[in-house]
Amino acid sequence: MSRFDKQAVLEKMGRTGMVPVFYHKDAQVAKSVVKACYEGGVRAFEFTNRGDFAHEVFAEVVKFAAKECPELAMGVGSVVDPATAALYIQLGACFVVGPLFNPEVARICNRRLVPYTPGCGTISEVGAAQEAGCDLCKVFPGDVLGPKFVKGLMAPMPWSKLMVTGGVEPTKENLEAWFKAGVFCVGMGSKLFPKEVIAAEDWASITAKCKEALTWCNV
């Protein structure tokens, strides 16, 4: 069961402005990354459903976060079907993110009042997702659509809450461009977690990078 209700989860995302996106098959590495991000000010973290037994790693990380990162909302990403959504919700996911919009996933999440953030690449997809009860939609892929897409959508649909993923970088120029366009928050993966930093187990570097990036969110 989710540790936080829908309103609390969305508040954490909007207040901080950034949701790290990460996966690792080693639960200990994943725990270390989650803790480093939490110490850097992150309050919502998306664990990517990628690789065999990813749900088992997630289960360990959720239990760890409940003790070591008490204010962190742990969610799951790359969910494309309702069965997977139900599995992760049962394991304690506070929110569900997908690369596409699947109305059946929305039904599963709505039943448990868990935020579902589907990937949308057109204004019509965002509209359809909103009709299905999705409070926050993911603009994906961000590097293809760009800040102008967000700005163009927000003009006729100013009530929209958008999270952009793909092409988001922990730089002042990149983050300010997205927030000035009107995003609610951003999802950031590989740029926040360089392979060499993970390999070196340089957790302090991740904490510092998160702190720096958060200063440029919500401009």
* pLDDT one-digit tens code per residue, 99-134: 999 999 999 999 999 999 999 999 999 999 999 999
Residues 6+ apart with CB under 8 A from 195: none
As a whole number, the mean pLDDT across the chain is 97
Q: String of b and e for 71-108 (b: at least 16 CB within 10 Å)?
A: ebbbbbbbbeebebbbbbbebbbbbbbbbebbeebbeb
Q: Decide if pLDDT at 2 tops 90.
A: no
Q: What pLDDT shows up at residue 51?
A: 87
pLDDT at 161: 98
Does the pLDDT of residue 218 top 80, yes or no?
Answer: no
pLDDT, position 219: 62
pLDDT higher than threshold 90 for residue 1: no
Which domains can be identified in the chain, with CATH numbers?
A: 6-214 (3.20.20.70)
Per-residue pLDDT, 70: 97
CB 96 within 8 A of CB 73: no
Whether the per-residue pLDDT at 164 is higher than 90: the answer is yes
Q: Which residue has the tokens 């057109």?
A: 122
State mean pLDDT over 176-194. 96
pLDDT in the model for residue 38: 98
pLDDT single digits (tens) 49-65: 998 999 999 999 999 99
90 has a pLDDT exceeding 90 = yes
